[in-house]
Copies of this chain bind each other. A is one copy, B any other.
Amino acid sequence: MSTPFPLGQPAFVTHVLDRAAHLRGNDAKLMAMEERGDTRAYVVHRDSLLVKHEAGGPRAELTIKEALALGANPGTIFLGLRNSAAVFGMGIGAPAADKLAGRTDAGLAELRGLAMQGALPVEQLSAIAMAKSLVNWHQRHGYCANCGTRTAMAQGGWKRDCPSCKAEHFPRTDPVVIMLVTRGDQCLLGRQKQFPAGMYSCLAGFVEAAETIEDAVRREIVEESGILCTDVRYYMTQPWPYPSSLMIACTATATSDDITVDLTELEDARWFSRDEAAQMLKREHPDGLLGPHPFAVAHHLLGRWLEGQS
């Protein structure tokens, strides 16, 4: 299968920005960088990106001038430096977003679709995920959780301060475990109701308070499928900007067979043979069943197992 995401490299993991965190507190320098000609910005609206439509395809990396002209909010979040040039994240309000509807030269496009189609350079996706996570966080965290007062952005967008109780609020990153459970030549995959028709993928769930990664894997698998697991091993992580998760990909070995699906979480969960899983990844399954997209780390967990590497 042709894919822009080689094995072991799902979307959002190719890190190219120098986060240059020491500049976050330097307002004068950040403002000066906004004025430079080589500065770029990604503009986020909910799950979509503002793109310019060009002959070569959509362009998400805009100049600050282009972003403002298209209605982006003037507040910027400093993402870091790429080859010494500054990259910012920006948001766009609903009225400005609505006004884009009639334009042919620019518009909003869903990030997931852009990434799945390979419409954006793979090496930009990590910075775009950063922009999306942070812009979404600011939009949903404008008030102090400690006292209810309106908070103010600080540290180039990496903090919000409460003027009243002085609480500091930092962007959240939620650890999530996602795991390929196998038993001999079979693997356990499940279906969430909102998945595309016929698609099955690895089970996943949030790591809870005071829980290790390994315990979270075992708990989620037993909660969702009734299957008991052992030998949990870490494979890799994928940042997942929906809204701001850290997907911690693991493998585990089942010690039981009988599946009891938790129907509040999943629509179905089944054992698949190696042959079937390969057909699903190659989109050649006789019943039209599909595996996860190469954009998601679940694809790489499965692919690695099928290649005998785990």
Contacts and interface: CB of A to CB of B under 8 A. Distances in A.
A149 B146 contact: no
Interface in A137-190: 137, 140-150, 158, 167, 169-175
B140 A223 contact: no
B239 A210 contact: yes
Contacts of A68: none
Interface stretch (A55-63, A211-219, A299-307): A211-219
Contact of A209 (B134, B140, B146, B149): B134
A21 B223 contact: yes
A19 B222 CA distance: 12
Contact of A144 (B129, B143, B174, B237): B143
Given A175-B173, A215-B15, A239 B209 contact: yes
Contacts of A126: 210
A145 B140 contact: yes
A238 interface: yes
B212 A13 contact: yes
A246 interface: yes
Contacts of A141: 145-146
A143 B147 contact: yes
Between A167, A241, A246, the greatest number of chain B beta carbons within 10 A of the residue's beta carbon is seen for A246
A215 B236 CA distance: 11
A19 B205 CA distance: 14
A207 B150 contact: no
A86 interface: no
Contacts of A241: 209-210
A239 B211 contact: yes
Contact of A145 (B12, B132, B143, B207): B143
Top 7 nearest A-B pairs (CB, nearest first) are A143-B148, A130-B210, A129-B210, A133-B209, A234-B234, A210-B239, A141-B145
